[in-house]
Structure 1
């Protein structure tokens, strides 16, 4: 009997913006709504928040918060129970942003596929927001 490996979605982007600007886009509710989903996010460890889209809601809870360095929160909906972690690494020309969503189980095949196609689109929207200066 083999045990299925948990699936993980990982994306990395080199962004030509300082960590402080990227951090604001990840942690300010109005900016988060501009590129991710409508929300009631607050940057406080333990805060439970909801991400809302036309297809439903995701319940989240802030797990870790290291300003301008790292943020993680649960990402739960239906049978899905995952964790999203953002890591910001300063570079001479901006920030390396890494997004990792872990915890997809064998029964989460559709959600995993959705995450693999959805996160790149969300990060494209984040790129546009940052380039437009709104997160300034």
Structure 2
């Protein structure tokens, strides 16, 4: 399903965060924390687990592809005709963790979804930083 063909585009949002990878990992994988910065979900950190994100505008059907605790998380993201993959990568730094979110699979005719994801993930990342700053 990793269709990173030249005909698709990718949204990437990266941040250097002053938190250990373990803390960020919890915010990416624990449903009550995911809900605080992204959407309500029935996520479980188990490869092959099917789950969904729910919001007032609708829902996203997902399946866990990769789980490497405190390092890498990847899941499919299917909504409104978009079939994509979201990958989170956590790399320790001297001051905390470099967090990278990459969503691949936007076809050329999905300009609105692509632009929406650029805006959405930037907003979600800011919310994640807020959650991390108050979580302990």
Match of 2:79 in 1: 77
Count of paired positions = 132
Show the counterpart of 1:25: 27
User: Counterparts of 1:48 and 1:22 in 2: how far apart (Å)?
Assistant: 22
Structure 1 residue 5 displacement after superposition:
3.0
Normalising by structure 1, what TM-score?
0.94
How far apart, CA to CA, are the structure 1 residues paired with 2:94 and 2:108? Answer: 40
Structure 2 residue corresponding to 1:131, chosen from 105, 130, 133: 133
CA distance in 1, matches of 2:7, 2:63: 25
Query: Given the two structures, how large is their TM-score scaled by the length of structure 2?
Result: 0.94
In the TM superposition, structure 1's runs of 4+ consecutive aligned residues that sit over 2 Å from their partners are none
RMSD: 1.2
Residues 81 and 22 (structure 1), Cα distance of their counterparts in 2 relative to 1, 3 Å cut: same
**Secondary structure at the counterpart of residue 96 of structure 1:** strand
Q: How far, CA to CA, are the matches of 2:79 and 2:130 in structure 1?
A: 27
Q: Which runs of 5+ in 1 are unaligned?
A: none
Secondary structure of 1:107 counterpart: coil
1:83-116 CA distance string (max 9 Å, x none): 0000000011100000000000122111111001
Answer yes or no: is 1:89 the counterpart of 2:73.
no
Shift of 1:79: 1.0
Which of residues 40, 46, 50 in structure 1 aligns to 2:48?
46
Q: Which runs of 5+ in 2 are unaligned?
A: none
Give 1:4 deviation, angstroms.
Answer: 6.4
Q: Deviations over 1:1-41 (max 9, x none)?
A: xx963111001100000000000000001000000001010
Q: Aligned with 2:115: secondary structure? A: helix
